[in-house]
A and B are shown apart, each in its own frame.
Chain A
């Protein structure tokens, strides 16, 4: 018998037993659809996520802050844990001992201007924006003195990246800051609201207006202490009074019973405020209060806060959690912060790399400089791991479905062989060989596998379109974001895998029935007919 004749007979047999063929196909199609959609779905999700990460400015950024010197290692005796205990417990205690030692003895890596320069020189780093927190008071130059509020509300300003398109996209009135603009600021819509500017027209009237910002450059430590004290106490302390008291204390330290060492310690914490000269800061205008330095800027735009439905806020939240009143060009903010008496270092910074693929090497280099970093790398790795686990779990489930389908199929094929005993007897009586019958049954299985895989491919493509439609609609409605990436990524590899699995499963399921058919005694078989 020629192969094509066997195939034609197999087709004929499947066609003439439509219900059984359909039942077998159903199981195979179900298993294959689950398998294919799992493979394509997990790949699609991974690719979408990868594309989102690669295309996201926020993903290319990472937060860094002061860490321990990389050379700081506690001596072995410090890490010695005595007593009989499990290794896990011993390691946990060692970790605590190490942390305590570092806290107490290790040299902290200070984040100063020199370190900032070193960070900027790391290959692939395109921007480093140190975190600046500048307590301030603001006042529009055009506000008549008679309308000035009795006490200016305490606000704060921060320096921002000038190449952050996400941040710039939140400027809804006016224009974002340009890289060479050292005199412009962005005002938050909330601050503007508090200042009495409510409608769009009123907000638009702010654009181009001069604004005086008085920065609290000295006494920030005292300011922080007073702020914390006020949070924790129902007896508020007046900051100005406290500052004046501290200043007097510093001036008259010799009159106190404190020793020289104790006086030095007090001075190192509460440095005496110095009134800057006008030549130090040409833009300085009005220094009514020696603690403040006032500068004049121009409002360029009104900026809204980041919202939950901004899809990129998910990544951004990893390193941004503030909503300042005033956004300054970061070079200006750095200069102001470093000109204060209290802080000569930065707590942390947000750095950007040219490509998310360089994030790992850059964060390693940053950590070698004595910083700790916090990037989306952990998130990417966690997602990759979770997607991989989900892929494995659902693939195992689909294989289980296929195995069950194969057992069912094998069962129905055994029944089919029993029912077709007479037919096989006749074929043997007219000269069909064992291998012909074996091939016939195997062909039936393989055809079922091919048909099942084909139906599964077509079905999966259709289902994926439907699912993608609903998912995109949901994302669009929930996140106000047009999602265009493929949720299911079908590739030739997935198709090959599904066809291979389906054909192999069906062929294996047919093997036993085929062997039984081939070994039938034709005389007995025909007698049963």
Chain B
């Protein structure tokens, strides 16, 4: 059974008095443990699709299944529960809370799930240790480098063992050295827990390096779905 199944998913929104079709009858699947790269130019609909998968937005039409859940039928509270339990999101801009330490940032998904302090602190420390930042756990994001901040964001995405990782240009703000380190780290972590990933990027090299399948998007449509492209 597919982990992700999108059937004729369309997303339209109003902008400046015009209706913009961001996704147009998109259908695709992601299998458990599979790493899919959505590649396309800016405005191709990659991020819109990722937002739908993250439960941050709703499709205008079509069906979107993640596991046994049909996201378009969930209410706001159920979507929030889905986000906290089933997925981990890695953003290009890291999106860490600047007033919180690295450890507190990693703890956030566990806090949202209502896990008691002692247990969540242990899990967060393990996650930080796994991304090599156990010595920086009391630092705030402003005291960390870009690469370190993204490592914290990765630790936050994996700390609650989600089934699906959604990564939106995770190395977009990093230099080459950090990009390679982060990619290797993501791959290692995904392999450890057999976690699926949908990676959004416009960088073909990045897509080839970390995905098992590449999907090209253009103008809100899937142009090519090639399971062997990244082999």
Show the binding face of A for B, using Cβ within 8 Å: 1-2, 5, 9, 12-13, 16-17, 422-423, 425-434, 436, 522-523, 526, 529
The answer for the CA separation of A17 and B98 in the assembled complex, in Å, is 12
Question: Distance in Å from the Cβ of B37 to the closest Cβ of chain A?
Answer: 21
The answer for the CA separation of A13 and B95 in the assembled complex, in Å, is 17
Determine if A431 and B95 form an interchain contact, defined as CB atoms under 8 angstroms apart: no
Interface assignment of B84: CB less than 8 Å from any CB of chain A: yes
Which of B111-119, B204-212, B216-224 lines the interface with chain A?
A: B111-119
Query: For residue A422, which residue of chain B has the nearest CB?
Result: B95
Determine if A432 and B100 form an interchain contact, defined as CB atoms under 8 angstroms apart: no
The answer for the CA separation of A2 and B57 in the assembled complex, in Å, is 26
Which of B73-81, B131-139, B185-193 lines the interface with chain A?
A: B73-81
Question: Distance in Å from the Cβ of A518 to the closest Cβ of chain B?
Answer: 10
Question: Distance in Å from the Cβ of A519 to the closest Cβ of chain B?
Answer: 10
Do A431 and B99 contact each other (CB < 8 Å), given the known contacts A522-B56, A523-B56, A526-B91?
no
Show 9 residue pairs from A and B whose CB-CB distance is below 8 angstroms, ordered by the A residue: A5-B111, A16-B99, A429-B56, A429-B83, A431-B83, A432-B80, A433-B80, A434-B77, A523-B57
Determine if B114 and A431 form an interchain contact, defined as CB atoms under 8 angstroms apart: no
The answer for the CA separation of A16 and B142 in the assembled complex, in Å, is 14
Do A432 and B112 contact each other (CB < 8 Å), given the known contacts A12-B99, A426-B97?
yes
The answer for the CA separation of A13 and B93 in the assembled complex, in Å, is 22
Determine if B91 and A431 form an interchain contact, defined as CB atoms under 8 angstroms apart: no
Query: For residue A425, which residue of chain B has the nearest CB?
Result: B95
Query: For residue A16, which residue of chain B has the nearest CB?
Result: B99
The answer for the CA separation of A415 and B98 in the assembled complex, in Å, is 17
Do A427 and B57 contact each other (CB < 8 Å), given the known contacts A16-B99, A432-B80, A526-B91?
no
Chain B residues with Cβ below 8 Å from A423 are 97-99
Question: Distance in Å from the Cβ of A3 to the closest Cβ of chain B?
Answer: 10
Chain B residues with Cβ below 8 Å from A427 are 97, 108, 112
The answer for the CA separation of A201 and B51 in the assembled complex, in Å, is 106
Given A429-B56, A431-B112, list of 5 further CB < 8 A pairs?
Answer: A427-B97, A430-B83, A430-B112, A523-B56, A526-B91
Question: Distance in Å from the Cβ of B94 to the closest Cβ of chain A?
Answer: 10
Determine if B111 and A1 form an interchain contact, defined as CB atoms under 8 angstroms apart: yes
Q: Which of A5, A16, A434 has the most CB of B within 10 A?
A: A5
The answer for the CA separation of A5 and B120 in the assembled complex, in Å, is 12
The answer for the CA separation of A422 and B99 in the assembled complex, in Å, is 12
Determine if A436 and B89 form an interchain contact, defined as CB atoms under 8 angstroms apart: no
Chain B residues with Cβ below 8 Å from A2 are 111, 114, 116
Question: Distance in Å from the Cβ of B119 to the closest Cβ of chain A?
Answer: 12
Chain B residues with Cβ below 8 Å from A431 are 80-85, 109, 112-113
Determine if B112 and A436 form an interchain contact, defined as CB atoms under 8 angstroms apart: yes
Binary per-residue interface labels of chain B (176-217) against chain A in the complex, 1 for a CB within 8 Å, 0 otherwise:
000000000000000000000000000000000000000000
Chain B residues with Cβ below 8 Å from A526 are 91, 95
Chain B residues with Cβ below 8 Å from A428 are 56, 80, 83
The answer for the CA separation of A422 and B94 in the assembled complex, in Å, is 12
Question: Distance in Å from the Cβ of B150 to the closest Cβ of chain A?
Answer: 14
The answer for the CA separation of A433 and B109 in the assembled complex, in Å, is 12
Question: Distance in Å from the Cβ of A434 to the closest Cβ of chain B?
Answer: 7
Determine if B108 and A430 form an interchain contact, defined as CB atoms under 8 angstroms apart: yes
Q: Which of B76, B96, B111 touches A434 (beta carbons < 8 Å)?
A: B76
Query: For residue B57, which residue of chain A has the nearest CB?
Result: A523
The answer for the CA separation of A527 and B211 in the assembled complex, in Å, is 26
Query: For residue A433, which residue of chain B has the nearest CB?
Result: B80
A-B pairs, 8 with minimum CB distance: A431-B84, A16-B99, A431-B83, A433-B80, A431-B112, A426-B95, A430-B109, A5-B111
Q: Which of B77, B84, B117 touches A430 (beta carbons < 8 Å)?
A: B84
Q: Which of B57, B99, B116 touches A13 (beta carbons < 8 Å)?
A: B99
The answer for the CA separation of A529 and B91 in the assembled complex, in Å, is 12
Chain B residues with Cβ below 8 Å from A436 are 112
